[in-house]
Structure 1
Amino acid sequence: MGRKNKQISEVTATVDRGWHLARTPLEMDVADIEYALMRCYEAFGRWQAECLASVIEFSASGPENALLHIIGMNERPKTIRDLAHMTNREDIPNIQYSLRKLLKAKLITRTGSGRSGVNYDVTALGRRVIERYADIRSALLIEAVSRVPKLTGRLADSAHTLELMTGIYEQAARTAATHRRRHPLPEPKAARPGKSRG
């Protein structure tokens, strides 16, 4: 172990990482990755919003921005079912709301009907927006990533780890839902003894 790594390990050992979700070393490691995921998700959302705002005056959340790019992916129309599956989402009403925003901004178009199936595709404006977004992403984000030593070699492993954790969370959620019981209401607190009024 190098001197720098040894110093980091010594400092880490002095930090108390324990709390109610991190009682064992493994729980601490999982809690650390969960916090990192939350912070990364928020930073990712801010990046998406700022990058899109530099292309077009359109206020979009991170998930709405993601939907726009996924609709434009591989130049083929997508159904709501496709979009939900590709983003691992179940909140169809929220997806529909986002699609209405993108339609109103004329970034996507809707074809088909309820019986034959509704498809969403990017418009000519939407295609220009996502292509310009890709240019800015390459110039700012990808350039920054490329300057971090050895980071590019770790990206594939990181993506694989996140996919594994996604599967584990999904299975744990199914198990929790399967075995969830109806919890009784908490008992009312006993009245504190004191002088009676009267």
Structure 2
Amino acid sequence: MARQDSATQKGIGPIVSASHLADGGLPALSEMEFALVILSNAFQRWITRCTSAAGGEGLSAIEVQILHAVNHRERDKSQSELCMMFNIEDTHVVAYALKKLEALGLVESGRRGKEKTARITRDGADLCLRYRDLREKLLIESVKSLGLDESRVSEIAALMRVMSGQYDQASRAAASY
């Protein structure tokens, strides 16, 4: 807090991409939003490049995320479960990703009653394990060297999930505004 106060006193203000948004009642939220944009872009670039290095060339960030989600706990996942898990409104995004992953032999389709499901294949599970090994070597070792408090990182993650609910509520309000 003291850092921001001294920055504000010097006329610098928070680090944002749109100063007109930071002029409002909660400048720190604009700072967080800009950080989320930068983090999101870096994260998406990371997961696609790590997957490519692990042997999964040509997958988009959402396809990588869906692959890992289908692999999660080795339990079949439906399209609606995947949409809910990732807070994706456009079901076509998930449907396309599942079709592409199936065409590559990384997932296979199944059924749970009338609902179509996806399950990981041996090739898909192997790719996820190679990704995990590269993640440990290239990312986790580096992040651990920062000396971050794991409980603090978990607190930030919890805050981000809470904030997603705030943005969802505001989005619903904006849809009817």
TM-score w.r.t. the length of structure 2 is 0.89
Distance 1:41 1:129 in 2: 22
Percent pairwise identity: 29
Q: Measured at CA, do residues 152 and 10 of structure 1 come closer, stay the same or move farther in structure 2, by a change above 3 Å? A: same
**Which residue does the alignment assign to 2:152?**
154
Matched residue SS, 1:20: helix
Q: Unmatched 5+ residue regions in structure 2?
A: none
Instruction: List 4+ stretches of structure 1 deviating above 4 A.
Output: 5-9
Q: What are the within-5 Å matches in structure 2 for residues 173-188 of structure 1?
A: 173-178=171-176, 180=177
**Which residue does the alignment assign to 2:52?**
53
Matched residue SS, 2:59: coil
Matched residue SS, 2:119: strand
Whether contact under 8 Å (1:58, 1:105) holds in the other structure is no
Q: Measured at CA, do residues 131 and 7 of structure 1 come closer, stay the same or move farther in structure 2, by a change above 3 Å? A: closer
Superposition deviation, residue 45 in structure 1 = 0.4
Whether contact under 8 Å (1:145, 1:152) holds in the other structure is no
User: Which range is displaced more, 143-152 or 87-96?
Assistant: 143-152
Whether contact under 8 Å (2:4, 2:13) holds in the other structure is no
**Which residue does the alignment assign to 1:185?**
none
More helix by share: 2
Match of 1:123 among 105, 110, 121: 121
Superposition deviation, residue 112 in structure 1 = 2.7
Structure number, greater radius of gyration: 1
Cα-Cα RMSD: 2.1
Per-residue deviation, residues 97-147 of structure 1 (Å, max 9, x unmatched): 11111111110001138x721110111100100011111111221111211
